[in-house]
A and B are shown apart, each in its own frame.
Chain A
Amino acid sequence: MVKHYRPPGKKKEGNAAKYVTRSQALKLLQISLPLFRRLCIFKGITPREPKKKFKGTHHTYYHVKDIAFLHHEPLVEIHRTIRTHEKKIKKAEAKKNLERANKLREQTPKIRLDRIIKERYPRFVDALGELDDCLTTVHLFAALPALESKKIDVESVHRCRRLAHEWQAFLSRTHKLRKTFVSVKGIYYQAQVEGQTITWITPHPLQQVVPDTVDITTMLNFLQFYETLLGFVNFHLYHSINLKYPPILDPRLEALAADLYALSRYVNTSARPSITNSEADHLDGSDEVEVKENEGQTEDEKSKLRLAQLQHQLPSNEPGSLMHLVEDISGEDEEDQDTKECKNLFKNMKFFLSREVPRESLLFVIPAFGGTVSWEGEGAPFGESDQSITHQVVDREVQGHLFFSREYVQPQWIYDCVNARIILPTEDYMVGRIPPPHLSPFVVDNEEEGAYVPDYVKTIKRLQNAARKEVLPLPGVGKEDLGDPQNLLVEGINDRAEANEAAQRKEKMKMLEQQYHDELKKELQGAAYTPMGSNVGEQTCAGEIKTGEESTSNIKQNVEDSANMPLVMMSRRKRKLLEAMQISNERKRAANDLIKQRKKKLEESKR
Chain B
Amino acid sequence: MKSKMKKDSKFDEEFQKSQQLTVESDSDFGYEDSSQDYGSEDSYASSEFEDGDSSSSGDEDHLGDDNSKDAEAGKGGPSKDEDFTYTGGSLALGVANDQEDGSGDSEIHQGVETDSSEDEVAPRNTIGDVPLKWYEDEPHIGYDVKGKRILKREKQDKLDSFLASADDPSSWRKFYDEVNDEVVELTKEEAKVISKMIKGHAPHSHFDPYPDYVDWFKWDDAIHPLSNAPEPKRRFIPSKWEARKVVRYVRAIRKGLITFDKPKEEDGPYLLWGNDSGSTEKSNHLAYIPAPKPKVPGHEESYNPPLEYIPTQEEINSYQLMDDEDRPKFIPKRFTCLRSIPAYENYVQERFDRCLDLFLCPRVRKKRLHVDPDSLKPKLPSRKDLKPYPMACYIEYKGHEDAVTSISVEASGQWMASGSSDGTVRIWDVPTGRCLRRWEIGEAITCVAWNPLSDMRILAVSAGQDVLMLNAGLGDEEEQKKIRELLYVEPSAPDNSDGKTLSVSWHQDDKHEALKLKHLKTVTAVEWHRKGDYFSSVMPAGESRAVLIHQLSKKFTQMLPYRLHGLAVRSTFHPTRSFFFICTKKTVRVYDLLKKKLIKKLDTGLHEASSIAVHPGGDNLIVGSKEGKMCWFDMDLSSKPYRVLKCHPKDINNVVFHRTYPLFASCSDDSTAYIFHGMVYSDPNQDPLIVPLEILRGHASSNGRGILDCKFHPSLPWLFTAGADKVIKLYCH
Contact = CB atoms under 8 A, between A and B. Distances in A.
A323 interface: no
Nearest to A50: B362
B649 to A, nearest CB: 12
Interface string A514-530: 00000000010011101
Given A239-B271, A357-B338, A185 B297 contact: yes
Contacts of A577: 369, 376
B207 interface: no
Contact of B308 (A186, A199, A219, A595): A595
A540 B431 CA distance: 9
Interface string B575-611: 0000000000000000000000000000000000000
Contacts of A569: 378, 380, 645, 690-692
Interface stretch (B63-71, B347-355, B402-410): B347-355
A214 B344 contact: no
Contacts of B645: 568-569
B343 A454 contact: no
Contact of B293 (A199, A245, A539, A551): A199
A182 interface: yes
Interface residues of A, number: 126
Contact of B362 (A47, A186, A234, A599): A47
B435 interface: no
A286 interface: no
Interface string A548-566: 0011001001000110011
A63 interface: yes
A589 to B, nearest CB: 13
A250 B347 CA distance: 33
A236 B273 contact: yes
Interface stretch (A87-95, A128-136, A341-349, A489-497): A128-136
Given A37-B359, A199-B293, A585-B373, A122 B351 contact: no
Given A46-B362, A118-B272, A454-B306, A528 B298 contact: no
Contact of A130 (B290, B351, B674): B290
Nearest to A111: B267
A356 B338 CA distance: 9
Given A136-B351, A140-B351, A565-B692, A442 B296 contact: yes
A395 B272 contact: no
B304 interface: yes
Contacts of B267: 110, 112
A138 B478 CA distance: 104
Interface string B305-341: 1111111100000000000000000001101111101
B182 interface: no
A199 to B, nearest CB: 6
B80 interface: no
B188 interface: no
Nearest to A543: B394
Interface string A207-235: 11111011100110010000010011011
Given A47-B361, A231-B269, A581-B369, A550 B393 contact: yes
A215 B353 CA distance: 10
B733 interface: yes
Contacts of A570: 376-378
Given A46-B361, A214-B348, A581-B369, A565 B380 contact: yes
A410 B345 CA distance: 25
A576 to B, nearest CB: 11
Interface string B271-290: 11100101101010110101
Contacts of A523: 384
Interface string B516-536: 000000000000000000000
Contact of B355 (A69, A114, A218): A218
A561 B695 contact: yes
A410 B308 CA distance: 22
B733 A184 contact: no
Q: How large is the interface on B (under 10, 10 to 19, 20 to 34, 35 or more residues)?
A: 35 or more
A521 B306 CA distance: 45
B303 interface: yes
Interface in A304-320: none
Contacts of A475: none
B646 interface: yes
A228 B272 CA distance: 11
Contacts of B392: 527-528, 543, 546-547, 550-551
Interface stretch (A363-371, A432-440, A466-474): A432-440
A199 B733 CA distance: 64
Given A106-B261, A572-B646, A437 B306 contact: yes
Given A127-B273, A209-B345, A235-B270, A184 B692 contact: no
A547 B393 contact: yes
Nearest to A185: B344
Interface in A130-188: 130, 132-133, 136-137, 140, 144, 181-186, 188
Given A569-B690, A599-B308, A396 B359 contact: no
B299 interface: yes
B302 interface: yes
A582 interface: yes
Nearest to A107: B261
A578 interface: yes
Contact of B431 (A60, A410, A539, A561): A539
Interface string A41-82: 100111111000000000011010110010000000000000
A118 B278 contact: yes
A246 B266 CA distance: 12
Contacts of B388: 530, 534
Contacts of A45: 359
B223 interface: no
B380 A211 contact: no
A122 B283 contact: yes
A206 interface: yes
B315 to A, nearest CB: 8
A183 B297 contact: yes
B391 interface: yes
B339 A543 contact: no
Nearest to A454: B306
A228 B337 CA distance: 37
Contacts of B352: 213-215, 218-219
B358 interface: yes
A200 to B, nearest CB: 9
A566 B377 contact: yes
A598 to B, nearest CB: 4
A443 B286 CA distance: 35
A203 B350 CA distance: 12
Q: Which 3 A-B pairs have the closest CB atoms?
A: A122-B278, A442-B296, A206-B343
12 contacts: A60-B360, A114-B269, A119-B283, A129-B290, A185-B301, A185-B346, A222-B358, A440-B298, A526-B384, A534-B388, A546-B392, A569-B378
Given A119-B283, A411-B338, A438-B304, 15 more contacts: A41-B358, A118-B273, A181-B302, A184-B302, A185-B297, A396-B339, A439-B299, A440-B302, A568-B647, A569-B692, A574-B376, A578-B373, A581-B373, A596-B308, A598-B311
Interface of B: 261, 267-273, 276, 278-279, 281, 283, 285-286, 288, 290-291, 293-294, 296-299, 301-312, 332-333, 335-339, 341-352, 354-356, 358-364, 369, 373, 376-378, 380, 383-384, 387-388, 391-395, 431-432, 645-647, 674, 690-695, 697, 716, 732-733
Interface of A: 37, 40-41, 44-49, 60-61, 63, 65-66, 69, 106-107, 110, 112, 114, 117-119, 121-124, 127, 129-130, 132-133, 136-137, 140, 144, 181-186, 188, 199, 203-204, 206-211, 213-215, 218-219, 222, 228, 231-232, 234-236, 239, 245-246, 356-358, 395-396, 410-412, 434-435, 437-440, 442-443, 452, 454-456, 523, 526-528, 530-531, 534, 536-537, 539-540, 543, 546-547, 550-551, 554, 557, 561-562, 565-570, 572, 574-575, 577-578, 581-582, 585, 595-596, 598-599, 602
